[in-house]
Structures are given as structure tokens and as C-alpha cells.
Amino acid sequence: MSNKPSIKVYVVDDSAIVRQTLALMLEGDPDLTLMGSAPNPLIADPIVRQTRPDVLLLDIEMPGMDGLTFLRQIMADMPIPTVICSTLTEHGGKMALDALAAGAIAVIAKPRLGLKQFLETSRHELLQTLKTASRARPRALQPLASAQPTATAKSPAALVGVHALAMNKPVVLGASTGGTQAIEAVLLALPRDCPGIVIVQHMPERFTAMYAQRLDALCAINVREAKDGDRVERGLALIAPGGKHLQLRKSGGQYWTVVTDGPPVNRHKPSVDVLFQSTVECAGKDALAIILTGMGNDGARGMKLLHDRGARTIAQDEASCIVFGMPMEAIQLKAVDEVLPLSSVANAILQFDRRA
């Protein structure tokens, strides 16, 4: 048994079945301890503030005060690593994305029916997510650097000039825990004629489309969930669909997306390594690969292959990461050309584009 102190978890969920099932699950793991639970944030608030759990497991849609309002209050006063447990409804999904933007570490998608069975079959994933969250450092994002785009209306207006018409050199980016906020910060800082970007963010199925829609509404560039056969083009970011792998291929002087099924890689689907390894074959030294905040090692081996092929490689620095796992693994493999704070990543993309 580990000598480390157990991770203290507090659960806020209006479902008694969820609270009871989670209590049994946590009792069976020596690394986790259930500090307590509450059916709504109004009851939980004073207890959480007094006991300061290591991780908060929070439902979104609850009577009295919703989980999102509670999360924003907690993050403003005493940031606690928080995992959101949200239903797969459209409303629940949108609120979960708002929670990620407000500082939540991860989202677990739960069905409306069969909750007890779902929690039992997802036991390993849920417990690992809580352990990962306990090592995170939730905080406000750093201010963005000077790569902010000018305020122009978004439109599919054609870009002119030889540079715009030339074959784009692709930018591929991977992230996990804390990545939804980090990716938003990077894309917000890019002008709408930036190079095309292909992104893998570890996220449950059905959430990625809503995440892409959210980013598209916020950013100067266009953002959408990738489909099989999408062309990588300037001013467009493509987000890998949850539950699928995303690869790149080159044909007719252009780069295109390939959406595939298959088993998880590094326990993830989509996997950053799958995207990066496909980029080695079709782009090689012409690519820019970026690893942002995240737990684990997904993307490190693919980045090493890209680095050895001559591609430009960047990792987010520890100080600006929510979880310095994936970047650290890539750095330890000597796969990284430059380690940058999150606030400098957008400028690095634009510098790469100018050199291209």
C-alpha cells in the first residue's frame, strides 16, 4: 500500500444513486477517500470551503444552484481541482464546456438512464480521472501575448497573394487535461489568415462538436469538428471528433483529414500520437507540432518522430500548464525544439508561418 496520503474527494450530485455508487467505488481504492457528499451546491458550499478537499466531483444540472455557478464561485475564491460529471444532453454538454472554460479539469459524460451500471463499468476511468485532477493546478489563464487578431468580421473571404495560395505547411497540436482552456487561449490569439491547424483534445464523444462550435463563436478563425476528407486550409482549425482517431494525408499538393476508428492508443481515442505519426509520413520536416498541457505521455513518441524528421516542435512550459505530463514526456524524449509559456504559442505559430 502506498505511504502517500489519500486523495480527499467531495461529491456534489443531486442523484442519491450516483452518490451511493461513488461512495462504494471510492471505498475500494486505497488512494482515494470520500470526504463527504451533498445533493446540491447550497449544502456543499460551506463544507467545501471549510474542509478544502483535494478534488471536487461536481454535477452540472441541479436544483437551487447549478454546478456551473458554484464552480465559478469556488474558482474565484479558492481554486480546487474539479471534475464535472455531466449528462449527454445538449444543454448539459454546453454547460460542461462552460465549466471547462471556468477552470474545471475534466468532464465525464454520464447517461440519463443506467447511471449505476455506467458508473460501475467506467470505474477505472473515473478513478484515474480523479487522481489526475488531484495533481492539477487550477488557476486563471495567463494574459495573452501580442498575437491578438484584429477585430474583423469572420467570413469565408478568399485570401489573395502567392503566400495564401501556396500549399500550407500544417500545424498539428495535441492536449489533454487543461487543454480546452489552453487551446482556446491559443486560437483566440490567431488572426483569420493563420495557417491551418489540426487538433486532438482528449474529450468525450459528442462534446467535441459543441467545443468546436464554442471556439468558432469566440475566435477570428473558423473552427469546426473534423470530418473525413476535410482540407486543411488557412484560417481553419479542425478538432478531432471524440471517439475517433484523426490522421493527416497529403494528396494533390494539399493536406486532408482522415477520420478512422480502431482501438484506443495510449488509452485515448482520439490519440495525439495517431495524429502526429500520420503527420510524419505526409509532412515530415514541413510540419509544426505542439504539445500543450495534459496528463500522461500521449503525443510524446509521435513528436519525437517528427522532431527526428526535421519538423519544428514546441512544448508548453511547466509554469503555464495545468498538468505538466505530456509536455514533460516529450521533453524527456528530447523531442522538443522549444519550451514556451502558453502566452507565446500563438506567436510561435505565426513565426513558423512567416518562415514557411
User: Which residues are tagged catalytic?
Assistant: 176, 202, 298
Torsion of CA 284, 273, 355, 346, to 10 degrees: 170
Nine-digit cell at 110?
454520464
- The 3-state DSSP class for residue 62 equals coil
Using CA of residue 160, residue 161, residue 166, residue 168, what is the dihedral sign?
negative
- If one counts every other C-beta atom within 10 angstroms of the C-beta of residue 158, the result is 7
Q: At what angle do helices 179-188 and 345-355 cross, to 10 degrees?
A: 50
47: CB partners within 8 A, 6+ apart: 10, 36, 38
Cell numbers 445538449 correspond to 90
Using CA of residue 202, residue 203, residue 206, residue 207, what is the dihedral sign?
negative
Cell numbers 478534488 correspond to 55
**CA-CA distance, 219 to 67, in Å (whole number)?**
26
**CA-CA distance, 57 to 32, in Å (whole number)?**
12
**CA-CA distance, 297 to 167, in Å (whole number)?**
31
The residue type at 195: P
Cβ distance 344 to 291 under 8 Å?
A: no
